Structure 1
Amino acid sequence: MSTRHLDSLFEPRSVAVFGASDRPSSLGATVWANVAGSGFEGPVWAVNPRRPVLGGERAYARAADLPEAPELAVLCTPPDTVAKLVAELGKRGTRAAIVMTAGLSPRQRSAVQDAARPHLLRVLGPDCLGLLNPRLKLNASFAHVTAAPGSLAFVSQSGALVTALLDWAAARGVGFSLFAALGEQLDVDFGDLIDYLASDAHTRAILLYVETVTDARKFMSAARAAARNKPVLIVKAGRTQAGQRAAASHTGVLASSDLVFDAAIRRAGMLRVQTLQELFAAAETLSHPRLTLRGPAAVQRERLTVLTNGGGAGVLAADAAQAADVTLAEPSAAVYAALDRVLPPRWSRANPVDIVGDAPVQRYVDAIAALHTDASPGTLLFVHAPTAIVPAAEIARAVIPSLQRSPLQPMTCWLGGDAVREARALCHAAGLATYDTPEDAVRALGMLQTYRRNQELLIQTPPASPPEPLWHAAQVHAPIDAALAEGREWLTEPEAKAVLAAVGVPVVATHSVAPEPEAAVAAAQALGFPVALKIVAPELGHKSDIGGVALDLDDAASVRDAATAMLRRVRERQPGAAITGFSVQTMVRRASGLELIVGATLDPLFGPVILFGAGGTAVEVVADRAVALPPLNRPLARALIERTRVARLLAGWRDVPAADVDAVCDVLVRVSQLLADEPRIAELDLNPLLADAHGVLALDARIRVDARGPGGSRRFAIRPYPSDLSETVAWQDRQLTLRPIRPEDEPQHLEFLARLDPNDVRMRVFYSRRSIEHSELARLTQIDYEREMAFVATAPKADGAGEETLGVVRALCDPDNVEAEFGIVVRSDIKGGRLGERLMRKLIVYLKARGTQRLVATVLSENRRMLDLAGRLGFDYDVEQPEPGTRRIVLTL
């Protein structure tokens, strides 16, 4: 992942267009006209070997003739010239190029990469529309219109969508910080762009149009980091179920690639929109900062109040609210009283608040003021249909000041065309979000609601974990080893249940494989009646589909008869199946038990994914399911459950008590751990997993394995907690644990901060104060281990009630993994014992192993303790000091 030299791409000081032309309608002519005519203040040069002058400006024959190396080169030349040009420009010092040329062969693409790599020259494209930076008046594209400056960035794989959004933005007055079309992503990809824009001070929100992602972990790491700082919206095209045709398990059928991508977006704290129209609505919403406030107050703003002069418009808004799962606010008695005082007796006396179509200007103003009687937070949607009584523009001028001052976050909707055009323009100019229809406005609010929920998942802090379950590694691996040794990819049902039981998943008592009917009878007698009987044939798919399951067998005769009949049916329907016998299990009867499915499969892009939903034999027909990316903890598992319809049944209904949802969450977490630790698991089904008030029980299980080990934590799109980096060390008279920080550390991390001396806080590294918000603490304890590391030193408390944090060292790597900036804090009352040195040496070893080149920090010149430690560790002083009173220290790794 790299943002190196992207500033040369997006904020260049000079631009040269290769293939510039004056031939009408040609690519070179369009791009040159846009670059030369956009008002860019730096030098712009045209390069064309056959045209000495273009548009009255001198044109240069070749790169060597240019006055200096252009910081950005735009290539509109034939495919066979691109690699040579890139090599020549790289040697001269050019650091970025946009390759608009289409039709490069694989050989030519590879040649371009080889030419750019030695010079670290960044390439956007090929086959791309280019980019626009409206703030710099740079239009290095062949778009037909330019963009106004603003705070939204739009990155797209489709040039057509760029031009469509430009058209839309021009009509709506929405401005942008950057437009970029990625094209074929030869070099610069979504991960690079998201990383760059995450730290771009001119970008407040990022919009993405995505067809494919090339590196899932890079994409997820960049997206998670960006989404912590600013809204990231994505519209994903190319939904497909092609991958389902080869699936052999329920999970493989249900976990479509689009569902997986949706799960990735949620996990990254982004917001997905489904259509171009929704993307436009989201862009309208995000261009108004008041609609994207964060924190607990923002989450409460999902309550909607509709104020309208038309009953029909109010009904449309209410219907849209129900469809978008947006809650209509219930006005308080004080609000009703205030509205009664300013509205005619025939007003709706409900939300939506219909102030009646004959309303004069003052009634609008008074009604808005009445809604402010109650200080409860929420959103106010102002909907106006034009009438002949008062011009819409006059109403807009009257209500805009009230809406701008409103404690409710305001949205406006002016229904109609020419009659409300001026009113819309006035609201735009006043910074108020404006929509064409009530449905558009409510859908936009629903999207914000989903976005805020995704943000809560991104920064939520799990509760302290219970003691680790006894993990029987040998019992996990042995059945898999045995199956692979026999050339089988599917475990038998008893083997699959043995694996799950070894990781703590409750499974129904099951006898090992009985080879023939009489052995099945003996097994049933040993277990006790009633029993369930199932055929064991590893190659078979779903046993019930071919008559391979018999339930509620109450005696030996029924088991014998069922086994004999089962053999006959299976041999008739699957004559080539290798039948190894029967499994016999205790028959479970739970009247109020719900049949669930928990599964796992490998997505080609995002690696292991976990599925949850309603189970049973009709699982594909019902298709009530959701998927999530591991690793999971209990809060993330609960969020996965809540995205299904069966979650409502788990909460209980009528005389059926609520199921033990925590037990279901534990199964999901244990499956997540299993997927991390055993890379040979390729597919897994627990179906049905029975759940009720007494807990959960897996009645059936299937596991497919692959000797190549295609799964495991290394394939997780989100890097899991690196427990292998934990160690126990002796320090003074105590045993310390040095380990990576965990999300569960938030409470003890807060205690640690509270025990820092104010002067240590001033010397700082990570913290500017001891009082810290939950969202900030979550960012310190919920880190992305792919790009950041924090090691804590912990020890048992003196009273034995848990552990305490004694010190922490943190390093944040740049996206190129060239430089990591570190900070270290040791609790003020235990300084002087060289604990900080222990932590620093652990950090240095870790960074060397991951290939980081330099470790740096900015230290106050008076912080002698830190400077002395740096000297012992081999740091050098940088020649430049960042600011007076500071020193920059550097350790070459």
Structure 2
Amino acid sequence: MVNNIQQTKNSDSADRSNLQCDRTYDILQTDKFNPLDAIFAPKTVAVIGASEKPGSVGRTLLWNLISNPFGGTVFPINPQRHSVLGIKAYPSIFDVPEKIDLAVIATPAPTVPKIISDCVDLGVKGAIIISAGFKEAGASGIALEQEILQQARRGKLRIIGPNCLGVMSPLSGLNATFASKMANSGNVGFLSQSGALCTAILDWSLQENVGFSAFVSLGSMLDVGWGDLIYYLGDDPNTKSIVIYMESIGNARSFLSAAREVALTKPIIVIKAGRTEAAAKAAASHTGSLAGSDAVLDAAFRRCGVLRVNRISDLFNMAEVLAKQPRPQGPKLTILTNAGGPGVLATDALIETGGELAPMSEELTSSLNQILPPQWSHNNPIDILGDADPQRYTKALEIAAKDKNSDGLLVVLTPQAMTDPTQIAEQLRPYAHQAGKPILASWMGGADVAAGEQILNQQGIPTYAYPDTAARVFSYMWRYSYNLRGIYETPVLPTLDCDANVRNCAVVDDIIQAAREARRTILTEFESKEILAAYGIPVVAGCVAKNADAAVECAEKIGYPVVLKLYSQTITHKTDVGGVQLNLRNQEAVRRAYQMIESTVQEKAGAEHFLGVTVQPMVKTSGYELIIGSSLDAQFGPVLLFGAGGQLVEVFQDRAIALPPLNTTLARRMMEQTKIYKALQGVRGRNSIDMSALEQLLVVFSQLVVEQRWIKEIDINPLLAVPPTPNHPGGLIALDARVVLHPPEVTADQLPKLAIRPYPSQYVSDWPIKDGKTVTIRPIRPEDEPLMVKFHQTLSEESVYFRYFHMIKLSQRITHERLTRICFIDYDREMALVAEYQNPDTGVREILAVGRLSKLHGNDGDAEFAMLVSDRYQCQGLGTELLKRLLQIGRDEKIRLLCADILIDNQGMQRVCEKLGFQITPTTDTTVVKAEIALIT
């Protein structure tokens, strides 16, 4: 969100907050106080537990605060002393003569709840609890934490910690930690759950001259978590990138919402401890055994545009390179070197981390032949030989930089007798930002190349001691670009319309309710397929047979050949107990198969597990066996799985994980993570399957997972994907399905929540406007980008002026980067409603109006709204109706205060607000008035 009026008047930076609703009914956001300002920029600090005892935490805290001037006043709190380190001390925080912004607490854990209570009573807005002895100490510590949180919630006190190192704000000089040194100032925001790692990183940063805009130890994250800090640093103009050492995700939805919003403008790089944590050991479905928690975390990071790295050094390498160089548009790297060995090492590292070597075109080879000796490698890596001088390096780089097949360049230099590292670096300076693609360098040789490295770094070309490190950095850069592109690529509206299948949800409800009443957790295959069919997912038809005669009767109706499968309410993996018989071509084969399944199951599992068989047609068409499924993750709730299926699914483990809900773009990105994806597109003369249909099936399946919350695990394995041939149209069909429900003792309020809030269909309804048309008012969708382009084309200059306080060209307002941020929201921090009209004669759809509600960063109790009505449809009641609905959404979301800053000339918006109960008051800016309404009293 924008930070002041002037910024909104003079720039389009307000768009990053997604407060986009464009037209006469609009708002302007003014300077907003963030509660975390009390922690990062306090004017007064109380050190509770200040001490003169050498080596004590209380003494170090006080000394760090007073020896690093931050422009504020420090008040030691110690009831046993009149002064500490020569500064007047106070018996309690109540005795301090000034209002306290920040309390830094270093007293024994049992004393902290009372101290927090005192802080709330005095109106203190921020606290850092350094003290240990809380949840890490067991049940008693957990109880203390809950007491602290209960006290903090009485006011608006925000807490960092407990059990943390503290907070540094190097740019202002604030050092509210017990670290031995102060961090250098810079533009990297560093967040860590580990205090010990903080001190190690601090020592390393001082040696490497890395600077920070913020240096935060979060500790137990009792109150302030990842989401709060990501939003805060995202709004901080001094922070260019955010690096995180993470041990646990905490509030998954908060993290994903914040990271997704901020990652587009500021890189977020994470190293997560515990990568080798074992997956769930017991699972009834294939998905449950395949979706390990670390794989889910990777999927979550991809979904929100966060880059995950494996080494601490890579955290800061990536922060540097993403600040200096453009992101690559693809995975292909050109390596230019004067030595073969380093080029090979770089190639290995590149391929191992997901990058590719840029192919050598005939044009590129021909151009290099003209300037290089005949012995050059004639391949990528481009080895220009050990005697390469500055001129040869420069000419080769100039040619390689123009290669359209390349997405990035790595220049490697090894010091040899005829090599001048400094002069070659000088020659490369003009190309630092001319190629439109990242340029990295590896100047090998220590002191001999130091001067050249300095020249390159000063020009914004990052340098690395080893070429494999540089190659790995490039792969990370591409992964970051790929993740962001997936988030903001415009999807298409599925042709498998989930809404059209709502009428079939009664079937699903009946099946699930009957199973729960029978206290069953495993549905039969027949029931599972009925659920899929209710959502329009194609399944193999079949019938249930309780004896051999009934099986024969079913087979006769279906037509031979047929398949018999175990019908059981307890056994989920039928092949494990001999419960599947294939390719049965006559009555005798069916009877024999029935008896074989019955006897085998009774022998291996027990007679009570055999209830008969299902009879299905034998699918004779060859295709690809896939698996689509969903299971639960402890941190992120329901997760989705896609990959190669069949009986050996756990052996091959070719799978991708994603978080629901999906759209078509996210579904395709999920498929791209697997090896079978390439085969599905057609190999060895086979046609491609219908990839669009598979994308849309994944979207519908994710909708099933979102809506049917009683389902704990679900598999379609195999889903047969058949490419078209002259004799068969191809298609998708579920051959087997498995559904596991939550145990009967689980209540509705105990069901796991989705990490990403799904499309809020409860806010979809029709509404008549004054001219007789009926419009659909609904939450905005990512697929609405083309409609938003047309919407902006209907706006007058006055409308644009009211929205932005200055004129913005249409070409700027409808850029893809801007509109995707408007249309692709997470529905948790904001809600945007559109009024859509579909012409009954032509079927053409258009958006007539937009209204948006956005929670304020750092204070979810307050929100702002914005509205815009197309010029042709003003005075039709749309503005009033949209604002009414936003007010109701605000109440549903427990918003305390809804507000907007409105241009004083925008009389129409002011009248609408007054009619709906808003208070209109002047502001310090005479061109703006404020509209406010309390939703919860």
Q: Which residue of 1 aligns with 2:325?
A: 290
Aligned partner of residue 665 in structure 2, secondary structure:
helix
Does structure 1 residue 365 correspond to structure 2 residue 394?
A: yes
Q: Which residue of 2 aligns with 1:863?
A: 906
On the 8 A contact 1:264/1:628 being kept in 2, the answer is: yes
* TM-superposed deviation, 1:162: 1.9
What TM-score comes out, normalization by structure 2 length?
0.89
Aligned partner of residue 435 in structure 1, secondary structure:
coil
* TM-superposed deviation, 1:9: 0.8
Amino acid across the alignment from 1:723: S
| Within-5 A mapping of 1:208-223 | 208-223=244-259
User: 1:373 & 1:696 partners in 2: Cα distance?
Assistant: 44
Q: Which residue of 1 aligns with 2:5?
A: none
Amino acid across the alignment from 2:915: R
User: 1:161 & 1:291 partners in 2: Cα distance?
Assistant: 30
CA distances 1:695-728 after superposition (whole Å, capped 9, x unpaired): 1111111111234466999822111111221111
Name which of 826, 831, 850 aligns with 1:789.
831
Q: CA RMSD in A?
A: 2.6
On the 8 A contact 2:401/2:409 being kept in 1, the answer is: no
Does structure 1 residue 597 correspond to structure 2 residue 633?
A: no
Q: 1:570 to 1:742 in 2, by over 3 A?
A: same
CA distances 1:181-234 after superposition (whole Å, capped 9, x unpaired): 111111111121122222122212211222222322222222222223322222
Does structure 1 residue 539 correspond to structure 2 residue 546?
A: no
User: 1:877 & 1:280 partners in 2: Cα distance?
Assistant: 48
| Within-5 A mapping of 1:58-457 | 58-104=88-134, 105-239=141-275, 244-286=280-322, 288-292=323-327, 298-300=328-330, 302-330=331-359, 336=365, 339-372=368-401, 378-390=407-419, 392-403=421-432, 405-457=434-486
CA distances 1:573-626 after superposition (whole Å, capped 9, x unpaired): 1136431111111111123x1111111112222121111111111111111111
User: 1:878 & 1:518 partners in 2: Cα distance?
Assistant: 82
- 356-365 or 331-340: which moved more? 331-340
* TM-superposed deviation, 1:265: 1.2
Q: 1:677 to 1:365 in 2, by over 3 A?
A: closer
Q: Which residue of 1 aligns with 2:896?
A: 853
CA distances 1:706-754 after superposition (whole Å, capped 9, x unpaired): 3446699982211111122111122222111111111121111111110
Q: 1:146 to 1:797 in 2, by over 3 A?
A: same
Q: Which residue of 1 aligns with 2:17?
A: none
On the 8 A contact 1:677/1:713 being kept in 2, the answer is: no
User: 2:399 & 2:541 partners in 1: Cα distance?
Assistant: 65
Q: Which residue of 2 aligns with 1:32?
A: 62
Aligned partner of residue 171 in structure 2, secondary structure:
helix
On the 8 A contact 2:496/2:696 being kept in 1, the answer is: no
On the 8 A contact 2:329/2:407 being kept in 1, the answer is: no
| Within-5 A mapping of 1:796-835 | 796-797=838-839, 799-815=841-857, 816-835=859-878
- 18-27 or 118-127: which moved more? 18-27
User: 2:367 & 2:700 partners in 1: Cα distance?
Assistant: 55
User: 2:280 & 2:403 partners in 1: Cα distance?
Assistant: 52
* TM-superposed deviation, 1:419: 2.6
Q: Which residue of 2 aligns with 1:295?
A: none
Q: 1:467 to 1:484 in 2, by over 3 A?
A: closer
Does structure 1 residue 695 correspond to structure 2 residue 731?
A: yes
Amino acid across the alignment from 1:86: I
| Within-5 A mapping of 1:652-691 | 652-691=682-721
Q: Which residue of 2 aligns with 1:606?
A: 636
Amino acid across the alignment from 1:499: I
Q: Which residue of 1 aligns with 2:523?
A: 491
User: 1:370 & 1:755 partners in 2: Cα distance?
Assistant: 47
Aligned partner of residue 264 in structure 1, secondary structure:
helix
* TM-superposed deviation, 1:798: 6.8
Q: 1:339 to 1:654 in 2, by over 3 A?
A: closer
Amino acid across the alignment from 2:701: V
Q: 1:557 to 1:182 in 2, by over 3 A?
A: same
Name which of 815, 836, 861 aligns with 1:773.
815
User: 1:828 & 1:813 partners in 2: Cα distance?
Assistant: 27
Amino acid across the alignment from 1:439: D
On the 8 A contact 1:761/1:770 being kept in 2, the answer is: no
User: 2:878 & 2:290 partners in 1: Cα distance?
Assistant: 51
CA distances 1:74-132 after superposition (whole Å, capped 9, x unpaired): 22222222222222333333221111111132232223223322232211111111121
User: 1:681 & 1:746 partners in 2: Cα distance?
Assistant: 33
Amino acid across the alignment from 1:581: G
Q: 1:223 to 1:553 in 2, by over 3 A?
A: same
On the 8 A contact 2:627/2:643 being kept in 1, the answer is: yes
User: 1:213 & 1:576 partners in 2: Cα distance?
Assistant: 46
On the 8 A contact 1:393/1:423 being kept in 2, the answer is: yes
User: 2:278 & 2:441 partners in 1: Cα distance?
Assistant: 42
- 241-250 or 737-746: which moved more? 241-250
Q: Which residue of 1 aligns with 2:508?
A: 476
CA distances 1:367-401 after superposition (whole Å, capped 9, x unpaired): 33444555777322121112344453444344334
Q: Give 5+ residue unaligned stretches, structure 1.
A: 293-297
* TM-superposed deviation, 1:334: 6.0
* TM-superposed deviation, 1:775: 1.3
- 671-680 or 178-187: which moved more? 671-680
On the 8 A contact 1:678/1:711 being kept in 2, the answer is: no
User: 1:115 & 1:845 partners in 2: Cα distance?
Assistant: 30
| Larger RCO of the pair (alpha carbons < 8 Å, separation 6+) | 2
Amino acid across the alignment from 2:864: E
* TM-superposed deviation, 1:508: 0.9
Aligned partner of residue 432 in structure 2, secondary structure:
helix
CA distances 1:257-276 after superposition (whole Å, capped 9, x unpaired): 11212111111121122333
Q: 1:356 to 1:788 in 2, by over 3 A?
A: same
Does structure 1 residue 574 correspond to structure 2 residue 613?
A: no
* TM-superposed deviation, 1:12: 1.5
Q: 1:844 to 1:387 in 2, by over 3 A?
A: same
On the 8 A contact 1:675/1:713 being kept in 2, the answer is: no
CA distances 1:518-551 after superposition (whole Å, capped 9, x unpaired): 3222222222211111122221231101111111
Aligned partner of residue 932 in structure 2, secondary structure:
strand
Q: 1:408 to 1:475 in 2, by over 3 A?
A: closer
Does structure 1 residue 763 correspond to structure 2 residue 802?
A: yes
CA distances 1:146-172 after superposition (whole Å, capped 9, x unpaired): 322222111111122222322332233
User: 1:331 & 1:13 partners in 2: Cα distance?
Assistant: 60
User: 1:227 & 1:594 partners in 2: Cα distance?
Assistant: 37
Amino acid across the alignment from 2:834: V
